[in-house]
Structure 1
Amino acid sequence: MTSLRLLQHRAADGTRSVIAATDEGASLVPGVDSVRELATRAIAAGTDLATEVRACGTGAAVDIAAELAAGRLLSPIDHGDPAHLIMTGTGLTHLGSAEGRDKMHRAAAAAETLTDSMRMFLDGVAGGKPAAGETGQQPEWFYKGDGSGLVAPGGALTSPAFAQDGGEEPELAGIYLIGPDGTPFRLGLCLANEFSDHVTERHNYLWLAHSKLRQAALGPELLTGAIPDQVEGMSRIHRDGALLWEKPFLSGETNMSHTIANLEAHHFKYDLFRRPGDVHVHFFGTATLSFSEGVTTQEGDVFEIEAAPFTLPLRNTLAKAPPSPVVVRAL
Structure 2
Amino acid sequence: MPEPTSPSPVPPVLFEADHQGRRHVGFGLPEPGAALTLHPVDAPTLADTFLTTDGSPEAVRTALTAAEPVTVPADDPELRLRPPLLPEATGSALLSGFMGTHTKKWGGEKAPEGGEFTPPKWFFKGFGDWARLPGEDLVVPASPVALIEEPEVALVYVNDADGTPHYAGYTFGNDLCDIGLHRKDPGYNPYCKLCDTALAPWLFLGPPPASVTGRTTILRDGATAWEGSFDCGGDALYFRVADMAAHFFTFPAVRRPGLVNYLLLGADEASFHDGFRIADGDRVAIEVKSHGVTLDNTVRFTAPAPAPAVNTA
The TM-score, its normalising length taken from structure 2, stands at 0.84
Q: Root-mean-square deviation (CA), in Å? A: 3.1
Task: Report whether the alignment pairs 1:18 with 2:25.
Answer: yes
User: 190, 199, 208: which one pairs with 2:189?
Assistant: 208
Q: Which residue of 1 aligns with 2:308?
A: 326
Q: Does 1:83 align with 2:68?
A: no
Confirm whether residue 230 of structure 1 aligns to residue 238 of structure 2: no
Alpha carbons 2:50, 2:168 under 8 Å: kept: no
- Distance between the aligned counterparts of 1:29 and 1:287, measured in 2? 35
Residue 111 (structure 2) aligns with: 126
Which deviates more from structure 2 when the two are superposed, residues 317-326 or residues 276-285?
A: 317-326
Note the 1:1-331 alignment, pairs <5 A.
Answer: 3-11=11-19, 13-21=20-28, 28-34=37-43, 37-45=45-53, 47-48=55-56, 50-57=58-65, 59-60=69-70, 66=74, 72-96=80-104, 98=105, 121=106, 125-127=110-112, 130=113, 135-324=116-305, 325-329=307-311
Q: Secondary structure at the match of 2:288?
A: strand
User: 2:287·2:295 contact (CA, 8 Å) conserved in 1?
Assistant: yes
**C-alpha distance in structure 2 between counterparts of 1:281 and 1:5, whole Å:** 17
Letter in 1 for 2:82: L
3-state SS in 2 of match to 1:55: helix
Q: How far, CA to CA, are the matches of 1:310 and 1:126 in structure 2? A: 27
Cα 1:95–1:70 change in 2 (3 A) is farther
Alpha-carbon distance, 1:144 to partner: 1.4
Q: What is the CA distance between 1:316 and its match in structure 2?
A: 0.7
Q: SS at 2:176's partner residue?
A: coil
Shift of residue 173, structure 1, vs aligned partner: 0.9
Give, as a single letter, the amino acid of the residue that structure 2 aligns with 1:19.
G
Matched residues in 2 for 1:271 and 1:28: separation?
Answer: 39
Structure 1 unmatched runs, 5+? 99-120
Shift of 1:183: 1.2
Partner of 2:5: none
Aligned 8 A contact 1:156 1:317 in 2: yes
Asked if the contact 2:26–2:39 (Cα under 8 Å) also holds between the matched residues in 1, the reply is no
> Per residue, is there more helix in 1 or in 2?
1
CA distance in 1, matches of 2:254, 2:41: 26
Measure how far apart 1:204 and its partner are. Answer: 1.4
Contact 2:103–2:109, Cα closer than 8 Å, also in 1 = no
Shift of 1:279: 0.9
Aligned residues: 300
Residue 27 of structure 1 and its aligned partner are, at CA, apart by 5.5
Q: Deviations over 1:170-197 (max 9, x none)?
A: 1111111111121111111111100101
The 1:15–1:69 alpha-carbon spacing in structure 2 relative to 1, beyond 3 Å, is closer
CA distance in 2, matches of 1:180, 1:3: 28
In 2, Cα distance between equivalents of 1:71 and 1:23: 14
- 1:110 corresponds to which residue? none
